Every structure is written in structure tokens, then in C-alpha cells.
Structure 1
Amino acid sequence: MNNAPHAPTRRRPVVAGAIARAAGGLPLSTLAQTGPYPNKTIQVVVPFPAGGIVDNVTRKLGTELSASLGQTLVVENKGGAGGSIGAAQVARAKADGYTLLTAFDTHAVNPLLYKLTFDSDKDLKPIALIATSPLVLVVHPSVPAKTLRELVDLGKSKPDTLHYASTGAGSSNHLTTELFKATTGASFNHVPYKGGAPAITDVLGGQVQVMFVSVTSVLAHIRAGKMRALAVTTRERIPALPDVPTVSDTYPGFEATSWVGLLAPAGVPADVVNKLNGGVNAALKSPEFQKFLEEQSLRPAGGTPEQFAAFMKAETQKWGAVIKRQNIQVE
């Protein structure tokens, strides 16, 4: 009887040893991390600075996924080279589902513009398309054009006298403007910026006069009369700007969107990909997340990993043709 209280103590190393032998001698710290995915913190790399559309969407989605997966998602901002630096980090990460990438539209064209240290198709695996976003064509109020056709006529009659802003070579607003030029024959001079904030500031100041830009970024300025919205790039008009026509109303077939999607290192097990894909699709049905996207003028997407892969392939082909035709290069 005197030995009874000590019996559990004698059994503990035996049980631990049996577990370790059954697991091939793995240490207990490793055993603690095994089991159904996920059972530890997930890192999501945002390949752009904090505060932008990709960062905002990732953090809001992370809240939804943390709740559904039962694990914390931690965001790491790793900007540079159109998002390719952060993408390279994830491409080299362990393929266990604990390091993910939130990609922007530049991801589809970076292989055409940069000398990458990884293969986008082979080293990264699509999980889900999260959302798409229309762009709006705005001009400074000093520009005499009140309609899209008038702007094109101005760009033809006085070539390169109007300047257009972008957030850098290969950005969605850069490529969309070049597609617009190729479609219409108008001519505007490109002025690249290192980010949306300085570009928008100079449009507001009239230093540059034209810009395709995300609706959320300039909606308040449009409503205040500090910018004039001429058209949106989706096929249908958008709720935030119901009186603004689409580019395709004047030039049928024209369409351009920016987008955000989730990827993982290649080699991540199929069951992990499916669980993450299901989590994203479930989040997109959340009223709170839908409200957030609507406030950002973003459209929920979702779908399967295969559909996201096909979407990115189509984007690469579409914008690759524009890059080639307009001879676009990263300096």
C-alpha cells in the first residue's frame, strides 16, 4: 500500500518510451506537433507592405480561418519586386501547410518581367482565388474629357501630353492602361510610382492626370469631386459607382480586374490543400467577410484549386500578350 502512490510515477517513462519507439524514436516535442492538420500556428506571407489591399484581405481572412481551423494565422509582410520576393520565400518553405502565400495579380506576370529564383508553376500550388476587384479610370478635374470617348480623342489628338500613373511596371493599373492604349489607339505617357499612395497624391495634385486604380482607394476622392470617374473595368457596372459606365460599353470585350489568391509550396499534401480550400470557401460565405469585401469593392471568388490554377494561367496569357505587344520591361 505504501508503494501505491508511486506506481504512476514508475509507469510514466515506460509509456513515454513505448510511444517514442512506436514513432520511430521521435522526440516528444515532435510528437506534440503531429496529428490532424493544423495543430500549430500557420504563417501567411503577404508579399507587399502592410496596409494595402492584399494585406487587408489576408488579415480579415486570417480571422475567419483561425476560427474555422482552430489555429492562429500570423501575417508576415515581405515586399519587393512586384511580390516575387515574398513568393520566393514561400516557394522554398517546407511543404507542410504551415507557410502560405497571399498573391496579388502581379503574381501571374512576374515570370514574364523578372528573373525569378523559383518556378511559379512548379514550386507553388494554388489553393483558392479569394476575391477580384474592378479598377476605375479616373482623371484630374482639369482634364477637359467628360466621357471615355472624349479622353481617347484627347489622347489621339495630343499624344503623350497626358500622363498616367501606375504603382510600377507590371502592376495591374500599368498593364490595364497599356491594354487600354492598345485597344483605343490613345497615347499617354507612363509615370510609375512605388506604391498607390504617392501615385494617387499626384493625381489629386494634377502632376499626373490619368490612372486606372482600385475603386476603394479613390472612392472618397471621386465623391468629393477631386477626381472624375470615367469608366470601370468590369463587364457590369458596380454598386459603389452605379452611374459610371464600363469601358466595355464603349469598347466591347474590354475587361480587367485585380485579384487576391492563396497559394502554398508545391508538395503540400492534397488533404491539407482541400482543408484550406474549404476554409476559404466557407469564409467567403460568412456575412461578416462578405460585408468586408463589399466595403472594399471586392467581389468574393472561391472555387477549387484547379479553377484557380486555370484562372492564373489565363491571366498570364492575357497580360503576356499585352507585355509583348507594348514591349513592357522592368527597369
Structure 2
Amino acid sequence: VERKDFETWLDNISVTFLSLTDLQKNETLDHLISLSGAVQLRHLSNNLETLLKRDFLKLLLPLELSFYLLKWLDPQTLLTCCLVSKQWNKVISACTEVWQTIDDSVQDALHWKKVYLKAILRMKQLEDHEAFETSSLIGHSARVYALYYKDGLLCTGSDDLSAKLWDVSTGQCVYGIQTHTCAAVKFDEQKPVTGSFDNTVACWEWSSGARTQHFRGHTGVVFSVDYNDELDILVSGSADFTVKVWALSAGTCLNTLTGHTEWVTKVVLQKCKVKSLLHSPGDYILLSADKYEIKIWPIGREINCKSICLQPRLHFDGKYIVCSSALGLYQWDFASYDIL
């Protein structure tokens, strides 16, 4: 077929093809493909790849537009995009603006990406129950009810009338002393302080095992204790619905705080770090929690937080109050008492 005749024929075919419906066009293409040999199919494959696989990130769009589009993707999808090619990985990893859309505090996109990858790995380990190494600390001969962890050391209190201090990394018992039955415990390098099922609080000496102070006054189990050496104050929460404030060195009761209608299962003594409605930075705040309320006791005054069904898990770092709940995890801004 002469070239001129072929071009005329091709123009006529093109006009006819364009006049067909989509279904007819598809049937025509299917028929032509079935008539094609290896050379034609290879040609078709090479040209289709160019038409269908357009690399907008690398070739077609300016970087500014690529970054704008990437901002709409979630972190997991961004990581998947990084696997497309080395060029995509380089562009996405270097675009701080993309990662700042997720977290305004991001300064180094590559660093954030590494942190996110570690978090993904950690979540996978949690799902597979491989995130933590478990070991047994053997030494108690009865139920262990009280636990307190700090700086690689774990203090345990047991119904076997003992308290032990363990080095978590080695599993070795550093100290072991005879006490009363322990429902709560807190410790430092010199001493443990224990709350007991015998309704008392006691302070002990690690080195000698001697009881240096005994606090009597509660009429129910003491579920939680906290203390501050600088203030020379110890606080305790009990099943008798009260919170007591004690002189740590003298062992005398300074005040009994009432108002709870359930067992007081957690007390926290902490220095305030923010200015709130009633407090200033540096003020010491006492928080107490029962099943339904968290109470804040600043300088003899009392403020009730939201009355929700709370479990005995309470934390206060001076800025935020965090408590676990049957409905989830709750956090309050201490400066405003607003729930976050």
C-alpha cells in the first residue's frame, strides 16, 4: 500500500472510529488486538506504559504543586509513596512542609519520618505481643498488691508482710524488709512508705529495715500514699472515704480532708507548673480520686472535677491531669480545668 493511500485510509478509519460509541470502540480495539502479532503487541505495551504511568512527582509537575498534593496524604500513604522509587523517596523525605501538616512541631522532615517508622514498628510489635521482654521477679511468698516503679527500680509490697526493691534490668533484689500487708507503696533511695490493709501508713529504712514512723488514724484500707521531703508532708487516701495529710518526720496528722463518697484510691502531691484559675506556678497541689470524682485540694480549698466513672488511675505532672475511665482516657488542662 502506498504511503499516501495508507494515510487516506487511516484518516477515514479515524473519522469512523471517533463516531463510534465507547462500547463499539472497545470492541474494535479488542478485535484489532486479536489480529496483532508479537511486534504489534510489544509496540502497544511500550506506548501504553508511557500513556498510563505518568510520573507527576518526578517529571510532570513543579515541586510546589507536588508538595501541595502530598499534603493531603496521611502518614501511612506517604510512607507507601516513598517505596515507589528512590526519586519519590528523596522528594517526600525532604519536604518538611508535608510532615508539618501532620505535626506543627516538626523541624526536620527526615527525622520525623524515622520517628514515625519506629512508631509503626512499635505498634506492630504491640499487636504481635513482641514489644516487651517479660521476666519474673521471684521472692515473695504471697499475693503482691502494691507496685511502684522509678528510674529502673521496682518496689513491691506483698501480703507476706514484706516489701522488696528490685533492679529491673538484672532482676536482682536490692533490698528486702519486713513490713505490714501492703496495699500501696512509694519509695526513694533511703526509704519506702507503705499504705496497708491494717489501715495504717508506715515509713521504713531500706538499709536497716527499721520502721521509722507509723501513721495511725484511718479506719479503712490505705490504697494510696504520696510524700514530699521538702514540704515534710505525707498524704494518704483510704477506703474510709478520707484523705489525710501528715507531718512526715513527726508522724502527726495535720488535716483530714472529707467529701469523697467512695474509696479514695489515688492521691498525688505535685507542684503546679502553670497559672490556673486559683493557683500559681510553684504552688503545691494535692489531687485525690475515687470512683466518680477527682478532687483538687489547694491550700484548704476544694474543687470538684467532672463527675464521671473513673478508675483508680490518676497522674498529674503540674500541667495536666490525666485519668483513665470506663469511657476512655480523660485529660484536663490544669490552668483552666477544661477537658481536652
TM over 0.5: no
TM-score with structure 2 setting the length: 0.22
* Higher RCO structure, 1 or 2 (CA under 8 Å, sep 6+): 1
After TM superposition, the score normalised by the length of structure 1 is: 0.23
Q: Which has the higher strand share?
A: 2
